[in-house]
Amino acid sequence: MLSRYKPFDNNSLALGRIVIAALSVAFLASFTPQASSPQTSPVIEVLADHDSRFKMAGQRIPSITVHAGEMVTLRITAIKAKNRNRDGSIHGFALLRAKDRSHVPGWDFLLRPGVQEIMEKAPEAGEYVVVCTVICSDDHDGMNMKFTVLP
């Protein structure tokens, strides 16, 4: 009786070995520790309200605390203000160093009505203040909050 199956030839064996080697490398790589990426924090919800105040649920005096170098995700809801910029922004969200009120590069956002989600890397450890950069009303100067960055 003749067999319908023919034995592997050298090309088939070589191909099989290559496939097994590739699968082995992929399998082992899945257990190799990867370089750590910046840690992502939970989403921080902020309300830039119509009364020219930053607000956060459960906080009478809103403040944000994060760790240096972590990715910060802000979900900011901007509610209509009395005034707006020409570009349509009604509030701003800028980070200033508390000691000298200098701007932190990359941390100056204009907020239009509605919800905006912003991801940014936390600056170096220290005390900061968030200020509104759009003259949103007569009470604009009171629109600020504390921002603490831990080591």
- pLDDT higher than 50, residue 23: no
Q: How far apart are CA 11 and CA 92, in angstroms?
A: 67
Closest CA to 71 of 123, 21, 29: 123
- What does the pLDDT read at residue 38? 53
**Block residue for tokens 């450890």:** 125
- What does the pLDDT read at residue 87? 85
Homologous superfamily of the 40-150 domain (CATH): Cupredoxins -  blue copper proteins (2.60.40.420)
Closest CA to 129 of 54, 41, 77: 54
- What proportions of the chain, in percent to the nearest 5, are helix, strand and coil? 15, 40, 45
- What does the pLDDT read at residue 138? 78
* CB-count burial class (<10 Å; 0-12, 13-18, 19+) for 79: middle
Residue 137 pLDDT level (bands cut at 50, 70, 90): confident
- Mind listing the pLDDT tens digit for each residue in 45-83? 999 998 989 999 999 999 999 999 999 999 999 998 787
- What does the pLDDT read at residue 34? 44
Per DSSP, 141 falls in state G
Total residue count of the chain as it appears in this document:
151
For the chain, give every domain's residue range: 40-150
Close Cβ partners of 112 (under 8 Å, ≥ 6 residues apart) = 78, 87, 88, 89, 90
